[in-house]
Amino acid sequence: MKYRTIGSDPATRREVSVLALGAMLFGTYTDEKTSYAVLDRFFEAGGTFIDTSNAYAYWADGGTGGQSEELLGRWMRSRGVRDQVVVATKLGARPLAPGTGFTDNPEGLSAKAVREAAERSRERLGVERIDLLYAHVEDRTVDPRETVEALGALVAEGAVGLLGVSNHAVWRVERARALAREAGVAGYEVLQYQHSLLRARPDVRSDAFPYGNLGSAGPELVTYLGAEPELTLVAYSPLLGGAYVREDKPLPSDYEHPGNPPRLEAARAVARETGATVNQVVLAWQLGGALPIVPLAGASSPAQLEENLAAVDLELTPEQRARLDEVA
């Protein structure tokens, strides 16, 4: 395994594995035995960075989420590894009642919601401090200053280490960071967005993203990261749910545009040259690029995890990387 540092403050920054493990479906669609097997293998391979949310997976059984956090808490206690892993979780999107979701009934990002959600996550995870806490989705009903100060207070109290943000418009991320500097509190240092070699159309609107595809790391976000070297991008769904390699997994509709076939063909060509899978090529491209990217890939079996782990040691030639960069 290889490692990188997230965060810029010497008091809170952490060294993490360059590959993060997504635990979204652990404890629901992925049963406890399998979840433990994947977590054990990830840790054995040197993996230290694990990602979840207090909302995962509310849609699995009509609940409100928290199952993934609870499973991770049990796993850390049973293995005695709490101090050897960095666990990230998120708040703001957890539905307030069964049968609802983050588009119609989320807990939101008010000061009260932030404090209560963070405390419940600490209880489910069984930790005194959350290593990395994200604002999961936007809440435009709340003054951003209120959210910023509530999150900053958690860091000041030692309940949270690092702060991150996910699925927000770039201008709102920058405004929040400016407000944090103004207030003298901790601000966002890790950004979590969907990012892969294939790109989604940024103009696609949905119930989840009525202002456009805010979950995707589009050109504006990539440019922002290039200008702010202290930030790290955690790239969720880098493998698009298996769509790169499985014919039964079609690309999402917002990926169906003329720019993606050349990207897919370039990845396939590099895979043939290296003897790797297309999934491994995509992960290796992210890992070795100029931007500070940590791919966040889930795994529902140890075999899937092994494929992802092998990408850490896949070295692309400068020419192969240049070809992928050109189409990206």
User: For 142-166, how does the pLDDT look when each residue is reduced to its tens digit (9 = 90+)?
Assistant: 999 999 999 999 999 999 999 999 9
Task: Classify residue 269: in a domain, yes or no.
Answer: no
Q: Is the pLDDT of residue 196 over 90?
A: yes
Task: Classify residue 141: in a domain, yes or no.
Answer: yes
User: For 247-292, how does the pLDDT look when each residue is reduced to its tens digit (9 = 90+)?
Assistant: 888 888 888 899 999 999 999 999 999 999 999 999 999 999 989 9
Task: Classify residue 272: in a domain, yes or no.
Answer: no
Count of domains forming the chain = 1
User: For 3-42, how does the pLDDT look when each residue is reduced to its tens digit (9 = 90+)?
Assistant: 999 999 888 999 999 999 999 999 999 999 999 999 999 9
Check residue 165 and give its pLDDT. Answer: 98
> Are the C-beta atoms of 177 and 168 separated by less than 8 Å?
no
Check residue 210 and give its pLDDT. Answer: 65
Task: Classify residue 199: in a domain, yes or no.
Answer: yes
Task: Classify residue 50: in a domain, yes or no.
Answer: yes
Q: Is the pLDDT of residue 83 over 80?
A: yes
Residue 22 sits in a domain of what CATH number? Answer: 3.20.20.100
Q: Is the pLDDT of residue 91 over 90?
A: yes
Q: Is the pLDDT of residue 208 over 70?
A: no
Check residue 123 and give its pLDDT. Answer: 98
Task: Classify residue 265: in a domain, yes or no.
Answer: no
Task: Classify residue 65: in a domain, yes or no.
Answer: yes
Nearest Cα neighbor of 150 from 189, 183, 102 is: 183
What is this structure's pTM? 0.95
Domain holding 97, by residue range, is 3-257+289-316
Instruction: Say what percent of the chain tops pLDDT 70.
Output: 97
Task: Classify residue 267: in a domain, yes or no.
Answer: no
Average pLDDT, the chain: 95
